[in-house]
């Protein structure tokens, strides 16, 4: 019997941060989901996983404070899924991969894809635990019932569907800024399940309360000046430093981190790969915090690549 990973993932080069750790030794597994079939702005997010990896190996990866190189952490890059062009295929294939990774006790790092690619991962993550706190960095709420008209499964409905299809998920948004009245009303009616956080301290206490956490990062949370390559850029957004500080608080404060995703990077409308680059750097900062918090260790595997490095 082949598992979903073996059946569907295709190995890629370069791997994220050039990390060659094996699946067996890893604490977290990277999977790319080339999916942009529910994007409503500019599609092209299917190209993000590969581009993020390409720029990730151009970044310096040594962390002097922690005396470790990110390329040596226990992270296995399992590669990319095939291009997924339907919601059914996404749920079936990415959901199966997420189930396999999470049930083996590892965490998942998912490279999207438009924001709907988070859906199957979150459903599986919720199925693995008593209660799941989902911390969302996003300009938008993605709580629409239909968007566009008559479409129930899209990157603008992802958290509405998640709330409907799970009973144990709590969602907090960090400083969202693009609201529809429909989403505002929905949120007002579900105060127990949905929250807005405005400071790093609020993030810290929210993750402490919810303990088992998944972090979903829509790159449009950043100001378009920092992340122009995205389908629905929303002006007056976060600076990367603020996002990283709050993300760090979430990683350090949570008891367990089931996974992280970065979604909505669109290389087709990017400028000098800046958006892919900031996405990679955010992941690097997340991994650094995970190492500091002892959520991940070093990979002991010594490959040729390590020796030459």
Could you tell me which residues are annotated as the binding site for Mn(2+)? 115, 138, 140, 142, 218, 220
Write down the least CB distance from residue 39 to Mn ion, Å.
Answer: 10
**Is 183 among the residues that bind Mn ion (CB under 5 A)?**
no
**Is 142 among the residues that bind Mn ion (CB under 5 A)?**
yes
Taking only Cα atoms into account, the Rg of the chain, rounded to an integer number of angstroms, comes to 18
Write down the least CB distance from residue 143 to Mn ion, Å.
Answer: 10
**CB < 8 Å & 24+ apart, contacts of 234-241:** 234/139, 234/140, 234/177, 234/178, 236/177, 237/139, 237/177, 238/137, 238/174, 238/175, 240/278, 240/281, 240/282
**Is 138 among the residues that bind Mn ion (CB under 5 A)?**
yes
Write down the least CB distance from residue 218 to Mn ion, Å.
Answer: 4
**Is 36 among the residues that bind Mn ion (CB under 5 A)?**
no
Nearer to Mn ion, 20 or 138 (CB): 138
DSSP-derived secondary structure for 7-73: HH-B--SSPGGG----TTT-SEEEEEE---TT-SS---GGGHHHHHHHHHTTS--EETTTTEEGGGB
Measuring CA to CA, how many Å separate 81 from each of 11, 253, 293? 9, 31, 30
Nearer to Mn ion, 70 or 215 (CB): 215
Total residues in contact with Mn ion, by rule CB under 5 A: 4
Write down the least CB distance from residue 140 to Mn ion, Å.
Answer: 5
Nearer to Mn ion, 156 or 249 (CB): 156
Write down the least CB distance from residue 147 to Mn ion, Å.
Answer: 11
Q: Residue 200, class by beta-carbon neighbours within 10 Å (0-12 exposed, 13-18 middle, 19+ buried)?
A: middle
Tokens of 135: 């911390």
Longest dimension (CA), the chain: 57
**Is 175 among the residues that bind Mn ion (CB under 5 A)?**
no
**Is 144 among the residues that bind Mn ion (CB under 5 A)?**
no
Nearer to Mn ion, 33 or 296 (CB): 33
Nearer to Mn ion, 115 or 248 (CB): 115
Residue among 294, 273, 289, 227 at smallest CA distance from 54 = 273
Binding site, annotated residues: 115, 138, 140, 142, 218, 220
Q: Which stretch binds Mn ion (CB under 5 A): 37-45, 178-186, 193-201, 212-220?
A: 212-220
Binding mask 92-121 for Mn ion (x = CB under 5 A): -----------------------x------
Write down the least CB distance from residue 287 to Mn ion, Å.
Answer: 22
**Is 218 among the residues that bind Mn ion (CB under 5 A)?**
yes
Write down the least CB distance from residue 116 to Mn ion, Å.
Answer: 9
Q: Which stretch binds Mn ion (CB under 5 A): 17-25, 79-87, 131-139, 244-252?
A: 131-139
Strands 68-69 and 62-63: antiparallel
Q: Which stretch binds Mn ion (CB under 5 A): 73-81, 133-141, 205-213, 247-255?
A: 133-141
Beta bridge partners of 32: 80, 111
Distance CA 236, CA 65 (A): 32
Q: Which stretch binds Mn ion (CB under 5 A): 42-50, 93-101, 132-140, 237-245?
A: 132-140
DSSP-derived secondary structure for 267-297: GGG-STTHHHHHHHHHHHHHHHHHHHTTSS-
**Is 234 among the residues that bind Mn ion (CB under 5 A)?**
no
Distance CA 155, CA 161 (A): 10
Distance CA 158, CA 124 (A): 14
Per-residue DSSP letter, 230: B
| Binding interface with Mn ion (CB under 5 A) | 115, 138, 142, 218
């Amino acid at each position: 019997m082949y598992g979903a990973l073996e059946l569907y993932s295709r190995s890629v080069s370069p791997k994220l941060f050039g990390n060659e750790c094996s699946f067996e030794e890893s604490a977290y597994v990277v999977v790319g989901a080339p999916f942009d079939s529910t994007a409503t702005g500019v599609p092209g997010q299917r190209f993000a996983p590969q581009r993020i990896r390409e720029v990730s190996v151009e970044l310096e990866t040594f962390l002097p404070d922690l005396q470790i190189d990110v390329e040596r952490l226990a992270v296995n890059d399992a590669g990319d899924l095939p291009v997924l062009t339907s919601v059914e295929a996404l749920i079936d294939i990415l959901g199966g991969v997420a189930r396999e990774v999470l049930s083996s006790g590892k965490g998942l790092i998912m490279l999207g894809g438009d924001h709907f690619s988070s859906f199957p991962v979150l459903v599986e993550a919720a199925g693995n635990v008593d209660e799941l706190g989902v911390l969302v960095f996003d300009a938008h709420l993605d709580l629409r019932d239909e968007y566009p008209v008559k479409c129930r499964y899209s990157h603008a409905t992802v958290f509405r569907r998640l709330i409907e299809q799970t009973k144990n998920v709590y969602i907090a948004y960090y400083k969202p800024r693009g609201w529809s009245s429909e989403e505002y009303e929905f949120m007002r009616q579900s105060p127990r399940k949905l929250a807005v956080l405005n400071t790093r301290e609020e993030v810290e206490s929210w993750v402490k309360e919810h303990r088992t956490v998944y972090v979903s990062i829509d790159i449009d949370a950043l100001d378009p000046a920092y992340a122009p390559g995205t389908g629905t850029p929303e002006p007056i957004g976060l600076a990367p430093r603020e996002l990283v500080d709050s993300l760090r608080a979430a990683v350090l404060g949570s008891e367990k981190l089931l996974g992280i995703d970065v979604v909505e990077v669109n290389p087709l409308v990017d400028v000098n790969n800046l958006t892919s680059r900031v996405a990679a750097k955010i992941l690097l900062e997340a991994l650094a915090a995970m190492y500091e918090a002892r959520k991940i260790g070093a990979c002991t595997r010594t490959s040729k690549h390590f020796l030459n490095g």
